[in-house]
Amino acid sequence: MNRLLGIFSTLAMTLVFSSAALADDYTSDPVHSFVVFDVHHLEAGYVYGTFGGPSGSVSYDGSDLTKTTFDISVDVDSIDTRNSNRDKDLKGPDFFDVKQFPTMTFKSTGVKKTGDATMDVTGDLTLRGVTKSITVPVEVTGTGKGMRGETRTGFRADFKIDRTNFGMTADPPPVIGNDIHIIVAIEATKQ
Amino acid sequence: MPFTPMQILAGMVLPAVLLGVAIALAWRPWSRRATADARWVFAPIIAIGFCIAYWNFELKPGWPPGGNVLFLLFYFAVPVGILGLLDSLLKPPLWLRAVVLLLLWRIFVRLLLLPQIPRQISAPNAELWIDALSLIALGWWLTFEHLADRSPGVVTPLILAAVAGASAILLAMGWHIQASGAMAGALVAMSIAAMVLATWNSRISFSRGFAQTIVLLLQLILIHGYFYTDDALTTGQQIWAGLLLASPLLAFTGDLPVLRRQRPAWRLAVRAIPVLIALGIVCAATVRNYARADQAQPTMQDE
């Protein structure tokens, strides 16, 4: 009997502690989330563009950032550089090839805490059918309450990728630089 | 200029030089004596030239090719080259050539469309497209084979160069695929090389090898471009594509009975001019639409 009680109490304690350690689930709010990029053009100025708000889920625990996970998806067809010819070039097979690869995704595989509200997130970025592991610095930009009392947390990543690693080799430098500077800003709602 | 001078040299000029040298060595246009039939030289060299162009302008082909439909353009050049080589060496009858071409083309088109079925194209519609595109390929093939048989000399490479040139403009500026436009440009360069040598010696025959290989490779690029360009094409763009596809038929004006006793130069003009006018309309409309879109003020998308 004592042995049975022991097993039950151990099981109960495990359940209590594991639920306390679970991160909260968040969903990205595409209306208040952004993907912005810029790229060097003719080694002179920069061209800027945006994608429609990223969708996906975030698991976040403010007390232990290493438990944070990201599973984010971006609709590539939403690219906008404020010039229709350029947008069509970018959506075509020379660049993003949206008919064949309509989304780009990022799935985190590991997190290393670098500060109170900063972390290096390693994950698989899939773009144009090519998956590469990248590490991006992510900042937790804050937590607040929404109009309906829901909890919202912001995340911001600022990083560069080499487009040739993802098969985008058209218009090589000096026409378009290989390094793409990307800012991903996500406002996620706690579920 | 979206391409570097090195890309243009290696991707367009090199295939043309390669083909020109191969034709010169095989056909010996300087020789007054009749040389043996050397049509076997065309298909393999054009296929190699196309692969060189692909290597310079497109993403390097991966293996297996299923990872990206673009890789298929590179790998399809191999069977197209082999088909042309067998055609010139074995000289099978027309019906057998047509059947083999139709079977091969149905496989090619199906594989090209596969990533879009059923997301963008329903399975029944895909079957219709496969049938229609196979018939168009057969139509082009018959047209150019007939032209090459009936009118040896510059007619076939001239009209193929014009059709490939208009396709290059349509692909790059109308459908926004510059790399495919550049590959069509490589086909233009190879056709011009053949045309120059045909001007030198009109004994060079372009049936069973040259016309077939250029036609099939150009069709491949056009089919890929049509289905993988960024968005739904406007009615105008569809009309220009239709006119481009129909334009080779205008070369049959040279077969009109009233022209039978005319001089060859006159008949060449009657064949080429209607085709060039039709292609000119396609190019002018495409360039005008591109320029209009570029001049339009950028506007923020609706909220």
**Inter-chain CB proximity A175 and B1 less than 8 Å:** yes
Option in B4, B227, B290 nearest A99 (CB): B227
Query: How many whole angstroms separate alpha carbon B82 and alpha carbon B79?
Result: 5
Summarised one tens digit per residue, pLDDT across range B247-295 is 999 988 888 887 777 787 888 888 899 999 999 999 999 999 888 887 7
**Inter-chain CB proximity B229 and A94 less than 8 Å:** no
Q: How many CB atoms lie within 10 A of CB A44?
A: 7
pLDDT for residue B299 is more than 70: no
Q: Measured between beta carbons, which residues in chain A are less than 8 angstroms from residue B115?
A: 99-100
| Residue B1, pLDDT score | 59
Kindly give the pairing relationship between strand A176-190 and strand A55-60.
unpaired
Average pLDDT taken over every residue of chain A: 89
Q: How far is A175 from chain B (nearest CA, A)?
A: 6
Query: How many whole angstroms separate alpha carbon B188 and alpha carbon B193?
Result: 9
Instruction: Work out the pLDDT band at A19, boundaries 50, 70, 90.
Output: very low
Option in B60, B179, B298 nearest A170 (CB): B179
Please state the ipTM of this predicted complex. 0.81
A71: left (phi over 0), alpha (psi -120 to 50) or beta: beta
pLDDT for residue B34 is more than 90: no
| Residue B237, pLDDT score | 83
Domains of chain A: 23-190 (2.40.128.110)
pLDDT for residue B232 is more than 80: no
pLDDT for residue B104 is more than 90: yes
Average pLDDT taken over every residue of chain B: 90
Option in B2, B230, B298 nearest A171 (CB): B2
Nearest residue of chain A to residue B173 (CA atoms): A85
**Inter-chain CB proximity B298 and A83 less than 8 Å:** yes
Query: How many whole angstroms separate alpha carbon A170 and alpha carbon B54?
Result: 12
**Sign of the dihedral through C-alpha B180, B184, B185, B190:** positive
Percent of chain B with pLDDT over 90: 68
Q: Which of residues 262-301 of B touch A (CB under 8 A)?
A: 290, 293-294, 296, 298-301
Q: Measured between beta carbons, which residues in chain B are less than 8 angstroms from residue A165?
A: none
Structure tokens belonging to residue A57: 């889920």
Among the listed ranges A55-59, B109-113, B123-127, B261-265, which one has the minimum average pLDDT value?
A: B261-265
Q: What is the pTM of this model?
A: 0.87
**The total number of residues written for chain B in this structure:** 303
B234 touches A at CB < 8 Å: no
B180 touches A at CB < 8 Å: yes
Percent of chain A with pLDDT over 70: 88
Q: Measured between beta carbons, which residues in chain A are less than 8 angstroms from residue B292?
A: none
Percent of chain B with pLDDT over 70: 95
**Inter-chain CB proximity B299 and A82 less than 8 Å:** yes
3-class SS of residue B230: coil
Q: Measured between beta carbons, which residues in chain A are less than 8 angstroms from residue B116?
A: 99-100
Query: How many whole angstroms separate alpha carbon A146 and alpha carbon A141?
Result: 15
| Residue B302, pLDDT score | 37
**Inter-chain CB proximity B177 and A93 less than 8 Å:** yes
Cβ(B98)–Cβ(B138) below 8 Å: yes
B114 touches A at CB < 8 Å: no
Option in A91, A169, A171 nearest B59 (CB): A169
Q: How far is B230 from chain A (nearest CA, A)?
A: 5
Higher pLDDT, A17 or B258: B258
Nearest residue of chain B to residue A169 (CA atoms): B59
| Residue B275, pLDDT score | 95
Size of the A and B interface in Cβ pairs below 8 Å: 72
Summarised one tens digit per residue, pLDDT across range A113-152 is 999 999 999 999 999 989 999 999 999 999 999 888 999 9
Summarised one tens digit per residue, pLDDT across range B54-68 is 999 998 888 888 778
Cβ(A68)–Cβ(A114) below 8 Å: no
Query: How many whole angstroms separate alpha carbon B83 and alpha carbon B81?
Result: 5
| Residue B303, pLDDT score | 33
Instruction: Work out the pLDDT band at B231, boundaries 50, 70, 90.
Output: low
Instruction: Work out the pLDDT band at B296, boundaries 50, 70, 90.
Output: low
**Sign of the dihedral through C-alpha B125, B126, B130, B136:** positive
Kindly give the pairing relationship between strand A176-190 and strand A24-28.
antiparallel
Q: Which of residues 119-178 of B touch A (CB under 8 A)?
A: 120, 175-178
Which is nearest to B80 in space by CA: B263, B207, B210? B210
Chain A residues with CB within 8 Å of chain B CB: 80, 82-85, 87-89, 91-94, 97-100, 128-129, 167, 169-172, 175
Mean pLDDT of A30-47: 95
| Residue A17, pLDDT score | 43
| Residue B301, pLDDT score | 42
Among the listed ranges A69-83, B50-64, B126-140, which one has the minimum average pLDDT value?
A: B50-64
| Residue A7, pLDDT score | 52
| Residue A15, pLDDT score | 43
Higher pLDDT, A9 or B248: B248
A145, with CB counted inside 10 A (0-12, 13-18, 19+), is: exposed
Cβ(A177)–Cβ(A37) below 8 Å: no
Q: Measured between beta carbons, which residues in chain B are less than 8 angstroms from residue A82?
A: 298-300
Among the listed ranges A36-50, B85-99, B265-279, which one has the minimum average pLDDT value?
A: B265-279
Option in A84, A92, A128 nearest B177 (CB): A92
Cβ(B191)–Cβ(B199) below 8 Å: no
